[in-house]
Amino acid sequence: MGLYRLTEKEFIMSTYDIYIPPATHRQSDEYFKWKIGNNPETEAERLEFGLSRDIPTHRWLLSGITGRTDEQNYYSFSFRIPYINEDPIDRTYIFENSLLFSHAHSIPPVGGADGVRVIPAEWAEVHIKLDPRAGTTEGTFSARFIADGLPLEPKGSFNMIRDDVPNRL
């Protein structure tokens, strides 16, 4: 089975399924938390913070993940904002100005491959402070999805450190 890379328009506009082989994910002491309605706050078990180079425009990628695909309890929120340069960022992004935001959750496996359904946000807003040279970021987010026919409206916060920045203090 080959890998298909979505175009930026496909990524923004479609719900799609992906199948992920078992893998080890990086652990972090930082946080990515969210709250949905009156439910208790959830803190991600694994974090992703880095520069994505797999679509036409380089983007910063931030994700918070709970569960595992091989246990069929994977759940995540991820967003991407444009990479401009190495200058610090302190701004609010909304869906209409280059913010890409998605939610993913496990679906039943097919042919021995673990499945994840990825759902793009209908609306999202992220306030972020990001220092590329220091490899640090913090901020807040809110979004709205229609997940399996039901509204899903997470609100959350994050504070993350990249582990691949040389000479980070």
Per residue, the 3-state secondary structure of 22-64, as one string, reads CCCCCCCCCEEEEEECCCCCEECCEEEEEEECCCCCCEEEEEE
Whether 3 is in a domain gets the answer no
pLDDT band at 20 (very low <50, low <70, confident <90, very high): very low
Whether 114 is in a domain gets the answer yes
Residue 165 vs residue 95, higher pLDDT: 95
Whether 30 is in a domain gets the answer yes
pLDDT band at 14 (very low <50, low <70, confident <90, very high): low
Whether 124 is in a domain gets the answer yes
Residue 153 vs residue 95, higher pLDDT: 153
Whether 169 is in a domain gets the answer no
Integer CA distances (angstroms), 3 to 11, 18, 55, 155, 162, in order: 15, 10, 14, 32, 26
Whole-prediction pTM value? 0.79
Evaluate if residue 18 carries a pLDDT over 80. no
Whether 122 is in a domain gets the answer yes
Whether 155 is in a domain gets the answer yes
Structural domain span for residue 13: 9-161
**Overall number of domains in the chain:** 1
Whether 53 is in a domain gets the answer yes
Evaluate if residue 110 carries a pLDDT over 60. yes
